[in-house]
Structure 1
Amino acid sequence: MNDRLRRWRLVLGGSDADGTGSTLSGGDLKRDSTLDALYGNDKRRGGLGGSSPRVARWLGDIRGYFPASVVQVMQRDAMDRLGLRRLLLEPELLESVQPDVHLVGTLLSLNEAIPERSRQTAREVVRQVVEELERRLAQPTRQAVTGALHRAGRTSRPRAGDIDWNRTILANLKHYQPAHRTVVPERLIGYGRRLPQLSREVVLCLDQSGSMASSVVYAGVFGAVLASVRSLRTRIVAFDTEIADLTDAVADPVELLFGVQLGGGTDIASALAYCQTQIANPRDTVFVLISDLFEGGDNDEMLRRAQALVAGETQVVCLLALNDEGAPAYDHDNAAALAALGIPTFACTPDRFPDLLAAAIEREDLTAWAGAHDITLAAPPADG
C-alpha cells in the first residue's frame, strides 16, 4: 500500500464505503484501533466503555502512536465524545493523561467534584503544566516588564547618582566639543528615586466562566510571574456572579488556579465595581479585563464602570481571550461599546502578552500597538 493510500485508509476508517479497499497491519492496525475507539460509528466497535483501566490503556496507546500535538487533540475530543471528564476523577487515569492547558482547565472546572483520593494527583498534573508554562513565559515577561518600568521611570532632571551616562551621552553627541574633547550635555537622562519602590500596579480581572478556562490558566501563570517583578504590585481578581480576590495566592499559581471556580455565570459590572475600590493610583495602574463579555448582570452598569476607569486615567485593556486558540467567541456588541469608550479590545496570544503589558506600563497608544502587531481590534459601532 502506498503512503498516500495508507493515510486515506487511516482517515476514512475502513468502512465498506471508504473506497480504498485496503487493509492495515502492524503499527498502522493499532493506530487504526485507537482512532476507531474514539471516532468510530455510533456502535463504536472498539469503544472505551466506562472502564477506567481500559481508558488508561487507550491513553497510553495514543501517546505511543501519535505526536504530542495530536494526542492533545484526541484527549480533548475524548472529553466530549466519551465522557472522559467523569473518569478523570480517578487518580490512575490522571496519571495516564498527557498534561496540557486544556486538561488543566477541565480539572479546574471539576475542582469541587474531585474526590480526596485524586486531589494530589490532580495538583501534580496542574503543577506540571504550570511549570512548563513558566519556563516558556517567565523570562520574556520579566524582561519586557522590567524594561518598561525602567523606561517609564526615566526623568530629564535626575540627581547626580541617578544619571544614566550611556543614554545621556548618546542623546547629546551632537553637542560634542572638539576643542575640549568632551560632550556638553543639554539634556540629562536618568531614573527617578521612586523606582526601587512600587511604581506601577497591574490588575488582572478574570472572567471564570467555563468558556474562559484556558485564558484563566495563562493569566494565573502570568500573575505569579508578575508578582515576582520588583517595582510592580500585582492584583488578581476572578469573578462569575461572585468575586474572589486571589491576590494573596499569587505567589503560587497552582494554589491560585485551584482558587478559581470555573463554570459559573458572569457579572462583569460587579467585578469592575470591586476593582475600582482597589485602585489607589489610577494613573499608575494597568487594568486588564480578560472576558468574552457575555454579561449576565447589568450591561449598562458594566459600561458605566468601564467608562469611569478610563475617565480616571487608568490604562484599561480588554482581552477577549488569552490563549493560542485563534478567534474566540465573544459578545460583539459589548466589545464594540468598549472600543467606543477608547478601550482597546482584542484577543491576545500568551507570547504577545509581555510586550502588550510593557506597552501599557509605558502608557503607549495600545490601539496603535495592536495595529503594529497585526492584531485585529474590536471596532466601535459605525455611528460611534
Structure 2
Amino acid sequence: MIHRMDLREVLKDPVLSERLTPSMALLEQILWDKGNLSGPALQNAKKLIARYVDELSKVLKLQMRQVTLRVHDNRVPPRRIFRNLDMKRTIWKNLTNWDPNERRLYVDRLFYRRTGKKSLPTKLIIIVDQSGSMTLAMVQTTILASIFAALPKVIVHLFAFDTRVIDLTPYVHDPVETLLRTKLGGGNDMRLALDLAAPCIDSPQNTAVVVISDFYDWSDFFSVLRQWKESGCHLIPVGSLHTTGYFAVNPEYAAKFKEIGAPILSGSPKKLIEQIKKVM
C-alpha cells in the first residue's frame, strides 16, 4: 500500500513521472491501482503504459514479420501458364537432356510455381485469464491482439476473465485502452468467457480460438473447448507467454488437452505467433 501511495504522488507530477522507467513491475502496479488514479495522475499513467506498450510492440511486430502469414497451399496444383513457369527449376531438372553437338537443351518436362494461397481464418477469438498471476500474459496478449486486428480480412474478438468476464473487443485496436479496462483479480471462471464468446463462432472452420490461462479453473470449461475443436475450430490453448522464469500449468488439463490433439503451448510470444500461422 505504501508503494502504491508513493506511486500515486509521483504520477501527479509530470516531471517525476517522466523520469520513471517503464517496466513490467511498474505496469502491474499501475494496473492494480488504476481505480485510485484520476486527473493528471491518470494521464501520466496512460503515458507510462503507452511507452511500455510501444517498446514491447516493436519486439512483437518484428517477430510477426518473421512469420509469414500467407503460405503456399500444396493441395492447390499450380496453374500451367507461362507466368507461373519456374524457369530455373525447369532448366536444372532437364540438364540431362543437353545435346552438346547441337548445343541445345531439350525440355521434356515443365515445372511451375505454386500460386495457390491458404487464406487466413476470418475470425481470431482470444480468451485470456486476467487474474493477478497472468499480468504479463495479459499485457502481451492485448498487444498481439491489436497487431492481428490490423491485418486485412481478420476479425479479432478479445475477452478477459477471472470470476467475471469483460468483452474488450471494441478496444482491441488500442492496447493501452484495453489494459486500462482490465480488472486484475483472483479466481477463475473461464466458462463465463466461453459462453460470451460462443455466439462469435458462426463458421468453425474459419475460426481460430486462443485460450490463455494457467487452467487452475474448476468451471466446466473443457467440455466446451473440446466441442469447439470437434466442430472444426482451430484450438490453441496457451499456458503462459514469457521469455524466462517458471510458470505452473494445471497438469490435469495439460494431459486432457494433449489427448484431444491440442497440447498446451508455453513460452515466448513468437511461439504463439508461429502456432497461429500454422492453423491459419
- TM-score, with length taken from structure 1: 0.62
C-alpha separation between the residues in 2 aligned to 1:138 and 1:276?
A: 29
In the alignment, residue 124 of structure 1 is paired with which amino acid?
K
54, 57, 61: which one pairs with 1:138?
Answer: 61
C-alpha separation between the residues in 1 aligned to 2:209 and 2:108?
A: 42
Residue matched to 2:101 = none
| 1:214-268 deviation digits (Å, cap 9, x = unpaired) | 1100111111111122243322221222222222212211112112111143211
Matched, 1:336 2:255: yes
C-alpha separation between the residues in 2 aligned to 1:319 and 1:183?
A: 51
Residue matched to 1:254 = 176
Unaligned 5+ segments in structure 1 are 1-81, 362-384
Matched, 1:202 2:114: no
Q: Please identify the structure whose Cα radius of gyration is greater.
A: 1
In the alignment, residue 277 of structure 1 is paired with which amino acid?
P
72, 76, 86: which one pairs with 1:151?
Answer: 72
For the Cα contact (< 8 Å) 1:214–1:322, is it kept in 2?
yes
Change in CA separation of 1:216 and 1:148 when aligned onto 2, cut-off 3 Å:
same
Bigger RCO of structures 1 and 2 (CA < 8 A, at least 6 apart): 2
For the Cα contact (< 8 Å) 2:85–2:111, is it kept in 1?
no
When the two chains are superposed, the root-mean-square deviation of aligned CA atoms in Å is 3.0
Secondary structure class of the residue paired with 1:260: coil
224, 234, 237: which one pairs with 1:318?
Answer: 237
In the alignment, residue 121 of structure 1 is paired with which amino acid?
N
For the Cα contact (< 8 Å) 2:53–2:176, is it kept in 1?
yes
- Compute the displacement of 1:85 (Å): 2.6
Residue matched to 1:244 = 166
Identity across the alignment (%): 23
C-alpha separation between the residues in 1 aligned to 2:81 and 2:146?
A: 35
Unaligned 5+ segments in structure 2 are 99-103
Change in CA separation of 1:171 and 1:283 when aligned onto 2, cut-off 3 Å:
farther
| 1:178-235 deviation digits (Å, cap 9, x = unpaired) | 666557447662135x85xx64432221111111001100111111111122243322
In the alignment, residue 257 of structure 2 is paired with which amino acid?
L
1:1-384 aligned within 5 A: 83-90=2-9, 91=11, 92=13, 94-144=17-67, 147-152=68-73, 155-156=76-77, 158=79, 164-166=84-86, 170=89, 174=93, 182=107, 184-185=109-110, 189-191=114-116, 195=119, 199-296=121-218, 298=219, 301-361=220-280
For the Cα contact (< 8 Å) 1:249–1:255, is it kept in 2?
yes
Secondary structure class of the residue paired with 2:216: coil
